[in-house]
Amino acid sequence: MSSRKRYKKNTMVGGWIFVERLGHGGNAEVWHATKNGKVGAIKVLKYPRESTYARFKSEVNAILANQSIGGVIKITEYHLPSDIKESLPWFVMPVGIRFTEWRKNKNILEVLKHILALGETLKNLHNGKYYHRDIKPANILFLNDRLYLADFGLVKYPSSNNFTEEGKDVGPKFTMAPEMRRNANIADGELADIYSFAKTLWIAITGDIQCFDGQYNVLSTVSLNKYCEGMYSKPLDVLLTECTEHSPKKRPKMIEVVKRLKEWIELNDDFHLKNLTEWFDLQRSIFPAGAPKSVTWVDKDDILIILNQIAQVKSLNHMFLPDGGGNTFIGAKMANEKGFIAIKISSKLYYIFKPKKLTYESFGVDAQWNYFRLEAEISSYTGVYDNSCSTYLFEEVVEIEPTLYIERVHWDYNEYNGEDLPDSANLICRYVGGSFVIFSTRSIYNLTSATYDGRHNKMSEDEFRSYITKGALNHAEHLATT
């Protein structure tokens, strides 16, 4: 019985009637089948010979030994004959939804919460020294409100024989660990699973079944940045980089992978925690050797570089205005007016002013208290309004074309000289002096409504630093006593 078995619709095995083929591999096929009103997925050998049967039995025994682990596919019926010349071996599982179908139209956090649960499954298997060695989307099913790991045809565990011939590769092509391509028979199955799990995680996020080759690189085209827009992705980038290390011994164990993936999900579920973490990371990226107590930039290009680093992460910052209130800014560039820079608040709203200097202040207590202070030079008004006796620090104008300003009322009515404003027109808040301060969106300073009174501009630079120092130290003392 070493020749290939030919299965087709309405074939009956063990009382199960084949309805539709669900999948097939090198040695077996899986069919959607029915039996006395029951529905299942039956797996049968294509080449029932001793070598393939030994691996088949190993798969069944591995699944049965781990039925108590959530996320391991269940076996509802099975037949392992003593002699395959007498009858055909088979086993039945529940019918699940293919991973690629389940993944459609789901957000990243929802998907990764389920991937995390699958990681727990793998961690528990590893604790029992069971190594799947064939982790890929095709072997993941969704049923009973969770993901299940299926197809244990390449499983390896202490009491199983080594069915892999020397020199043969083992595993899924797009997610296979490099050592499984070279020396699968002696490769560490646990660390190979880590590699394949990480590649599967990347596929789950991107939806790209043809995964990248080699190690993950956040600076390459495979970066998750475009998929995780608005999310804090750095810890995930680091985790994927480590899990796809070429050297197996440099990869973390599954217990560590699960822990860090869980922390990342919790962080992105909690905007407050995410924002403060990103604020800390921003400062580390600007000052990789450690944040100085204070540093000042006066060159306009340098100031723009720092401002755009702050603006790079969505909803990270809050900029307090000289006269009170504030906004999140989303970018900065040179303004059309000579010597001015433009802070972008929305697609059509800019704050412009002549920058005198940008200062970073650090306190060594808690990064949320660290801030940037942006000081504007004293400038003249545009002349659009009669500002001869004005005490206002800014004037609202419409820039209808580069450096041509008109009154704000034209913006409200979308009209100038009897015609609609051109698409290139922008609303401008043009500051003629004052200081701005930039804090993390979720900082205590920003969450305290009383600070929206422009107090930072009523104090000198040194006075404001002393004021924040006192708040930071008081907060640290409070945390120490609670």
**For the segment 242-264, what is each residue's pLDDT rounded down to a tens digit?**
999 999 999 999 999 999 999 99
Q: Could you tell me if 6 and 71 lie in one domain?
A: yes
d(CA 395, CA 411): 14
Q: Could you tell me if 88 and 113 lie in one domain?
A: no
Q: What is the mean pLDDT of residues 274-294?
A: 92
Give me the CATH number covering residue 41.
3.30.200.20
Q: Last residue of some domain: 95, 122, 137? A: 95
Q: Could you tell me if 308 and 424 lie in one domain?
A: yes
d(CA 126, CA 250): 17
pLDDT at 471 over 50: yes
Query: pLDDT class for 389, splitting at 50, 70, 90?
Result: low
Percent of the chain with pLDDT over 70: 96
Domain assignment present for 275: no
Query: pLDDT class for 5, splitting at 50, 70, 90?
Result: confident
Domain assignment present for 40: yes
Q: Last residue of some domain: 80, 95, 110? A: 95
d(CA 133, CA 170): 8
pLDDT at 407 over 70: yes
Side-chain-side CA neighbours of residue 393 (13 Å)? 19
Q: Could you tell me if 24 and 47 lie in one domain?
A: yes
pLDDT in tens, 413-452: 999 999 999 999 999 999 999 999 999 999 999 999 999 9
Collect all residues with Cβ–Cβ distance below 8 Å to 103 and sequence separation of at least 6.
Answer: 111, 137, 204, 207
- At 136 the pLDDT is 95
0.75 exceeded by pTM:
no
Q: What is the mean pLDDT of residues 83-93?
A: 90
Strands 97-98 and 341-344: unpaired
Q: Could you tell me if 207 and 250 lie in one domain?
A: yes
Task: Answer for the pair 398, 382: CB distance below 8 angstroms, yes or no.
Answer: no
Q: Could you tell me if 104 and 153 lie in one domain?
A: yes
- At 1 the pLDDT is 42
Query: Domain residues for 234?
Result: 97-269
Domain assignment present for 239: yes
Q: Could you tell me if 445 and 322 lie in one domain?
A: yes
- At 161 the pLDDT is 67
Task: Answer for the pair 457, 434: CB distance below 8 angstroms, yes or no.
Answer: yes
Q: Tokens 């078995």 map to which residue?
A: 5
Domain assignment present for 391: yes
Domain assignment present for 361: yes
Q: Last residue of some domain: 216, 234, 269? A: 269
d(CA 334, CA 341): 4
Q: Could you tell me if 328 and 261 lie in one domain?
A: no
Q: Could you tell me if 253 and 397 lie in one domain?
A: no
Q: Could you tell me if 426 and 446 lie in one domain?
A: yes
pLDDT at 167 over 50: no
d(CA 226, CA 55): 42
Q: What is the largest CA-CA distance in the chain?
A: 105
Domain assignment present for 281: no
Q: Tokens 């991107």 map to which residue?
A: 206
Q: How many domains does the chain have?
A: 3
Domain assignment present for 280: no
Residue of higher predicted confidence among 5 and 70:
70
Give me the CATH number covering residue 163.
1.10.510.10
Mean pLDDT taken over the chain: 92
Side-chain-side CA neighbours of residue 286 (13 Å)? 28
Domain assignment present for 282: no
pLDDT at 345 over 70: yes
Q: Could you tell me if 155 and 232 lie in one domain?
A: yes
Q: Could you tell me if 459 and 473 lie in one domain?
A: yes
